Amino acid sequence: MAQDELRTSLAQAAEPFVENLYHCLRCNYCVEMHWEERGIQHVCPTLLHHNPAPGYSGKGYLTTARAVLEGEELPINSLIERFFNCTTCGNCEEVCPVGLRPAHLVKQIRAAMVAQGFAPAPIAAIAENVVERHNPAGASIETRNHWAAGLDGIAAGAGALYLPGCAASYEAPAEARATVSVLHQAGVPLKLLPPEQARCCGAPLEEIGFPAEADAERRELAAAIARSGCRRVVASGAECLGSLAGTQLADGVEVLHAFDLIERAVAEGRIGFEPRVNAAAGPIGLLDSCHLSKKSHGIAGAANHPLRIRALLDRLGCQTVAVADQGSYAVCCGAAGGMPRMSPQSAARMADGKLRSFAEAGAVVVLGASPLCVAHLRRSQAAGFPAVMGVFEFIDSYFRLRRVV
């Protein structure tokens, strides 16, 4: 009976995507595509590093959902394994010539599975961590702001609220500290939420099939932002930026990525950069975070921060390298969508693949604007691979900011 109810629920989840299900061209762009002129070198990280079966591709998800909608009997365990081993990166949507949305379909199917009690144990553990401790790792709430201890640039009366996000707070604290340091040098004081009020933005829950819980986290975070009295919210997390930009905050509250503030100050001639003595040596690779570069991730993806960060690095005289899958078609590093918990070995291979491509291009350091990606790549870093740093960590290490009056 439970499986019958699940099939009914899955069919209902697929129904809104019926036009997608019957308009797939079977072109195989999302299965395997190479288009050197457009920077497309492979598409799906799951096919590359987890299972090469086409059922794990965007086309495969559409085909499977269509079969479910038409009442075909499919093995439940196989469905669960397939739909929860997607990074939800959206590259399949990026390359689709007719604009189909398999990554969005995956999230809806996951939600239907979760609602019927079929969440895999590693996925359920992520949700439990967020609900109980307000971060995917399940780290202590009390330690959320420990990264900021003794740091200049934090002021209780500041008008800008800094939300480093769960990944920066717990897994990439050097990037959070560097962000405050760089913005402090630029004359931008920041305020932090008390740790007991800070919440996950909800994006990780949305990706793994817990939309109601995601909405609850977002609403609590929005309330804490309102209580702070700040009219500007500065995020480090790529997922946080997208989640908060789509949240109903108080009128007039601006949400932006920390890099936006530096970019504006440079454009307006308010700051300059002076190389430190230990100036960076060697070529730099920049990771194109999916949340910050792909249109399937909404406002955050449309802003294409990696492209703009490359422009700043060029302006600073840094030598950057190009890899085959650069830009909005870059293959996911495996950090998101629950992949590191669901299939940790596959997620590690995804990270290794990214670092190997940068190493082959000659990069000695890889920069990331997403702390989630930075933390994931660092866990997989091995001998012979480039060093991994956050963008602000790099700027703070190798440059001083000079305010122009």
Q: What is the DSSP string of 272-299?
A: EEEE-TT---S-EEE---HHHH-GGGHH
What are the two backbone dihedrals, phi and then psi, of residue 133, each rounded to the nearest 5 degrees? -120, 0
| pLDDT attached to residue 327 | 84
Domains and CATH numbers, the chain: 2-118 (1.10.1060.10), 133-267 (no CATH), 274-403 (3.40.50)
- Report pLDDT digits (tens) over 223-234: 999 999 999 999
| pLDDT attached to residue 280 | 59
Identify which has the larger pLDDT, 175 or 38.
175
Q: How many CA atoms lie within 13 A of 44 on its CB side?
A: 27
pLDDT at 336 over 60: yes
Is residue 403 within 8 Å of residue 269, measured between CB atoms?
A: no
Surface-to-core class of residue 383, CB atoms within 10 Å of its CB (0-12 exposed, 13-18 middle, 19+ buried): exposed
| pLDDT attached to residue 1 | 47
| pLDDT averaged over every residue in the chain | 92
Beta-carbon count within 10 A of 98 CB: 10
- Residue 145 and residue 316: Cα distance in Å, rounded? 31
Surface-to-core class of residue 123, CB atoms within 10 Å of its CB (0-12 exposed, 13-18 middle, 19+ buried): buried
- Report pLDDT digits (tens) over 6-59: 888 988 999 999 999 999 988 988 988 777 766 677 889 999 999 999 999 999
- Report pLDDT digits (tens) over 367-382: 999 999 999 999 987 7
DSSP readout, 307-351? HHHHHHHHHTT--B---TT-GGGPPP-S-STTHHHH-HHHHHHHH
| pLDDT attached to residue 384 | 77
pTM attached to this predicted model: 0.94
- Residue 303 and residue 381: Cα distance in Å, rounded? 29
| pLDDT attached to residue 20 | 95
CA 274 to chain centre: 30
pLDDT at 314 over 50: yes
Identify which has the larger pLDDT, 374 or 243.
374
Is residue 27 within 8 Å of residue 97, measured between CB atoms?
A: yes
Residues 6+ apart with CB under 8 A from 349: 49, 50, 334
CA angle 131–133–134, rounded 5-degree value: 65
